[in-house]
Amino acid sequence: MLQNKFLSLVSGTTLTAIVLLTGCRLSSRYTTKDVTAGAEKANAQTIASEENMTKGELANAKFKDKLSGINLLNALKQGGYVIYFRHAQTEKDYADQVTAVMGNCSTQRVLSEVGWKQAKDIGEGFRKNAIPFDQVISSQYCRAWQTADLAFGKYDKNSDLNFPKAEDYTPEQVAQMKERLDPMLTAVPAQGTNIVIVGHDDLFEASTGIYPDPQGIAYIIKPDGSGNFNLVANILPEEWLKLGGS
């Protein structure tokens, strides 16, 4: 889905051809040279932006869905998937894992009004499209279990979805996050249903190499029953209501 969330850059040559073939005329203020220069500048900015991305951010931006729309919805209705959500949007985005006290939301980032709406939209999308789910597993952070509660009305907290107490992780801590999350991503759901996980960015990146962005994004995962999994698609909060095409 993210591949559809980024506008494709059109080269000056292509745009010029479109203008000539359709008979459309650019405003007299702009010449073909201007259009070409603008496209080249935009392309250079995109390359520069990609150069500034981490490997995980770039993997997220370049991820391509294997299923989408009604095909994805039909697959989810049959069950067998793990749906990993990064919690909905918070008022601020900062690392609070060192200062956060579990059970005390005042020490943690909390959902913004946008985040509350995102969570409710996710839940409405599941209900409208009759997507079955059984387990809903959340980290102990308030922004995660609140997202789960608003969207699904239930959740089980699991400390294995929490961050290590550090802002900059050691390779050992990254390996620890992967070791904790991998069993959840490879767990095969009960027949005819799906497992929902509401967690965080860094744990998902540790397991998959993908940094899930923006907040509220979900990745659809298909466990293969042999201890591995495949990434099938990603979905933004507002897209759950549109999966059926209406």
Q: Tell me what the mean pLDDT of segment 141-158 comes to.
A: 98
Residue 209 per-residue DSSP state: S
DSSP β-ladder status, 82-86 and 156-157: unpaired
Q: Does one domain contain both 154 and 234?
A: yes
- Check which CATH number belongs to the domain holding 141 and give it: 3.40.50.1240
DSSP state of 3: G
Q: Do 30 and 124 share a domain, yes or no? A: no
In a domain, residue 163? The reply is yes
With 90 as the cut, is the pLDDT of residue 37 above it?
no
89 occurs within a structural domain: yes
pLDDT, residue 31, reads: 45
Do residues 84 and 44 share a domain? no
Residues 212 and 62: beta-carbon distance below 8 Å: no
Q: Is 67 left (phi over 0), alpha (psi -120 to 50) or beta?
A: beta
234 compared with 31, residue with greater pLDDT: 234
pLDDT higher than 90, residue 39: no
- The verdict on 215 and 115 lying in the same domain is yes
The reply to whether 133 and 25 lie within a common domain is: no
- Residue 221 is inside which H or E element, if any? strand 218-223
Specify the pairing of strand 195-199 against strand 136-138: parallel
Grade residue 198 by pLDDT with cuts at 50, 70 and 90: very high
Cα–Cα distance for residue pair 174/204, rounded to 1 Å = 10
Q: What is the mean pLDDT of the chain?
A: 85
Quick one: which of 63, 95, 71, 66 has its CA closest to 213? 63
184 located within any domain: yes
The answer to the question of residue 43 being in a domain is yes
Task: Say whether pLDDT at 20 is over 50.
Answer: no
Indicate whether 29 and 72 sit together in one domain: no
Evaluate if residue 11 carries a pLDDT over 70.
no
**Would you state the structure tokens that stand for residue 138, as one six-digit string?**
């959340």
The mean per-residue pLDDT over the stretch 92-105 comes to 89
pLDDT value at residue 50? 79
When pLDDT is cut at 50, 70 and 90, the band that residue 124 belongs to is very high
- For residues 83 and 14, membership in a common domain is answered with no
Give the per-residue pLDDT at 176: 97
Residue 221 has pLDDT above 80, yes or no: yes
Answer yes or no: is pLDDT of 41 > 90. Answer: no
DSSP string of 78-118?
A: H---EEEEEPPPBSS----TTT-BTTBGGGS--B-HHHHHH
201 and 124 inside one domain: yes
Asked which of 57-66, 89-98, 193-202 is least confident by mean pLDDT, the reply is 89-98
Sheet holding 156-157, edge to edge: 156-157, 136-138, 195-199, 82-86, 218-223, 229-235
Mean pLDDT of 90-104: 89
Q: How confident is the model at residue 47 (pLDDT cuts 50, 70, 90)?
A: low
Opening angle at CA 117, ends 111 and 123, nearest 5:
105
Q: Which domain holds residue 172?
A: 67-242
Evaluate whether residue 207 is within a structural domain. Answer: yes
> Looking at the domain assignment, is residue 162 inside a domain?
yes
16 and 129 co-located in one domain:
no
Report the domain count for the chain: 2
DSSP string over 150-197: HHHS--EE-GGGSPPS-SS--HHHHHHHHHHHHHHHSPPPPTT--EEE
Residue 57 is assigned to a structural domain of this protein? no
- Assess whether 25 and 97 both reside in one domain: no
The verdict on 107 and 32 lying in the same domain is no
Does 44 share its domain with 80?
A: no
Q: Is 58 inside any structural domain?
A: no
pLDDT at residue 30, as a whole number: 38
pTM: 0.81
Tokens representing 149 are 């509660």
Helix (H) / strand (E) element for 205: namely helix 201-208
